[in-house]
Structure 1
Amino acid sequence: MTIQEASERYQIPMEVLRTYERWGLCPEAGQAAGERRYDGRDLERLSLILTLRDIGFTGEETERYMRLLERPGTEGDRLRMLEEKRAAALADIHARERQVERMDYLRHQLRKRQETHRK
């Protein structure tokens, strides 16, 4: 399938498809009339790229992960990348939880004052 067909059928942004092509991770894939043809393996990789983007990987991190994927014995490196991203996400969640707790405290204080003034 062509880049346009892949984009439309699988809702993959054209920028992702163009970046994927620019990385050159798919030299074995066919070309027809000067246009790249996407196969099942490409679609699996593109799905992984979209997942990595969705979980917060930068473009550079995504490219590094995908290049590691092409080399045998890099599972440890890829796992470390995922663990680092997970730790950062958890730290962000905990920081947000502390913010919510502070907001709840302030809301509680305001409601308490409102009740005092009504009496």
Structure 2
Amino acid sequence: MTIEEVSRCCGIPLKALQEYDDTDPEHLSVLITLHEIGFERAEIETYMRLMEKEDSDGQRLRILDRKRRGLLDEIHFREKQLSHLDYLRYSIRREQNKK
């Protein structure tokens, strides 16, 4: 798959992919994964720069942990919204059954 195809397929701007080509499939795979899990371009660039450094595992884990916590917070928020939505649906159905 060419970089242009990856750009179209994954919705990643071509400019962001141009740094990585078919000779570096591991980095390209990481870049795509970071994009798919919601990293912003600046976050991706920081992470990719850290990949080039030795002894950056701790920093990269902190970045991933921070993103994970953010996603969990979002999930919990959405679960709360669903709970409220379900309560409203339940209330309407309960009123309908009284009629």
| TM-score w.r.t. length of structure 1 | 0.72
State yes or no: 1:69 paired with 2:51: yes
- Counterpart CA distance in 2 for 1:106 and 1:19 is 44
Which of structures 1 and 2 has the larger relative contact order (alpha carbons within 8 angstroms, sep 6+)?
Answer: 1
| TM-score w.r.t. length of structure 2 | 0.86
Q: Show structure 2 runs of 5+ residues with no match.
A: none
For 1:18, the equivalent position in structure 2 comes to 15
- Counterpart CA distance in 2 for 1:115 and 1:21 is 61
Report the residue type matching 1:52 in the other structure. Answer: L
For 1:43, the equivalent position in structure 2 comes to 25
- Counterpart CA distance in 2 for 1:106 and 1:20 is 45
State the Cα distance separating 1:7 from its structure 2 match.
3.1
- Counterpart CA distance in 2 for 1:54 and 1:94 is 20
- Counterpart CA distance in 2 for 1:104 and 1:71 is 49
For 1:6, the equivalent position in structure 2 comes to 2
State the Cα distance separating 1:17 from its structure 2 match.
4.5
Q: Show structure 1 runs of 5+ residues with no match.
A: 27-36
Report the residue type matching 2:22 in the other structure. Answer: Y
State the Cα distance separating 1:68 from its structure 2 match.
0.4
Larger radius of gyration: 1
State the Cα distance separating 1:44 from its structure 2 match.
1.4
Aligned residues: 96
- Counterpart CA distance in 2 for 1:113 and 1:94 is 29
